[in-house]
Amino acid sequence: MYRHILIPTDGSELARSAVHHGLSLAKAVGAKVTALTVEASFDVYTVPASRVYEMSGAFAEHAERAKAHAEKILNGVAEEARQAGVICETVQIDRQGDGRCQHDMLRAHANLRLSLRQA
């Protein structure tokens, strides 16, 4: 059956429901899970013209906020998995750069991918 389940999450109520159901399924079939969150890339157009000279600082602030947001979401999933007795790996990907490549790699290793679509 399923050995590895990929659970994408953005921390929303819908995603929390998918996480809960994914972990329940993983526990029932003895699968491990990978929880994945994808953070928005840095948008240079949101930096005011008056701060263009501070672009690297703005990028660093964005990266720090994105990392903190992802950690909050993924730590919650990891804790829920721990309580359920499910092995859980967490991955945070930025939309920019190699995010697509990493996402494709994760999809290739998981034999079940949960979707965050409402019925």
**CA distance linking residue 4 with residue 32, whole number of Å:** 5
Does domain 4-113 fall under CATH 2.70.150.10? My reply is no
Which residue spans within 1-119 are E strands per DSSP?
4-8, 32-39, 88-94, 112-113
Q: Print pLDDT tens along the chain (119 aa).
A: 788 898 989 899 999 999 999 999 999 999 999 999 888 777 767 667 666 667 777 778 878 888 999 999 999 999 999 999 999 999 888 766 544 545 555 555 555 555 555 44
Give 3-state DSSP helix, strand, coil % of the chain, rounded to 5.
Answer: 55, 20, 25
Global pTM exceeds 0.95: no
Domain residue extents for the chain: 4-113
